[in-house]
Structure 1
Amino acid sequence: MMDIAYVYIVKCSDDTLYTGWTINIEARLKVHNSGQGAKYTRSRLPVALVHWEGFGTKSEALKREAFIKKLKRKQKLKLIDDKNK
């Protein structure tokens, strides 16, 4: 059985946004906040989870991640805001 693949957005300490994917959000956040995560987030700790979406396959998650990464900041903030309504 395949785990759910998640696409997530974290807000970094400098107020920037980072988008990634994982099969375990809690573990991934711990890795980011330990300084062992993505190079981008290492100098922008701590990070806080602000958005996530679940998918049935890694392929779907990767496609969504690529789509979100192409969005402008304003569009990402709207996505986050819309999800929290």
Structure 2
Amino acid sequence: MGYTYILECADGSFYVGSTRHLLQRVEEHNHGEGSNYTRPRLPVVLVYYEEYERIADAFAREKQLQGWGRAKRVALITGANEYLPALSRKVWRRG
């Protein structure tokens, strides 16, 4: 079992991660034992998560969400899925 999760930090920023033990991992973050990113931004609040049968799938989803902008993450968190396609970043390639 694996989870992809989004935490909202005290400064309003988001942190995306993946783990096998969701509640334990959130506690670790809040005790300063999480990531270097969340440590100076405590406390954090779990605002979104997805459950997967395999941790590899949770990790792949983590990497996908890390590439999303703030507006797209907010749409996911709030359940405004109809806005997700319009919030996709456009990749511009030259010639």
Q: TM-score, normalised by structure 2?
A: 0.82
Counterpart position of 1:32: 29
1:73 to 46, 70, 73: 70
Alpha-carbon distance between aligned partners in 2 of 1:59 and 1:23, rounded to the nearest angstrom = 10
Structure 2 residues not aligned, in runs of 5+:
81-95
- Structure 1's consecutive aligned runs of 4 or more residues displaced over 2 angstroms after TM superposition are none
Aligned AA (1:13): A
Structure number with larger C-alpha Rg: 2
Alpha-carbon distance between aligned partners in 2 of 1:20 and 1:37, rounded to the nearest angstrom = 10
Counterpart position of 2:19: 22
Counterpart position of 2:55: 58
More relative contact order, 1 or 2 (CA 8 Å, 6+ apart): 1
Q: Residue 62 of structure 1: CA displacement?
A: 1.0
Structure 1 residues not aligned, in runs of 5+:
none
Q: How many pairs are equivalent?
A: 80
Q: Does 1:6 align with 2:6?
A: no
Alpha-carbon distance between aligned partners in 2 of 1:35 and 1:59, rounded to the nearest angstrom = 25
Q: Residue 50 of structure 1: CA displacement?
A: 0.1
Aligned-residue sequence identity (percent) comes to 36
Q: Which moved more, 1:11-20 or 1:56-65?
A: 56-65
Alpha-carbon distance between aligned partners in 2 of 1:19 and 1:26, rounded to the nearest angstrom = 14
Q: TM-score, normalised by structure 1?
A: 0.91
CA RMSD of aligned residues (A): 1.0
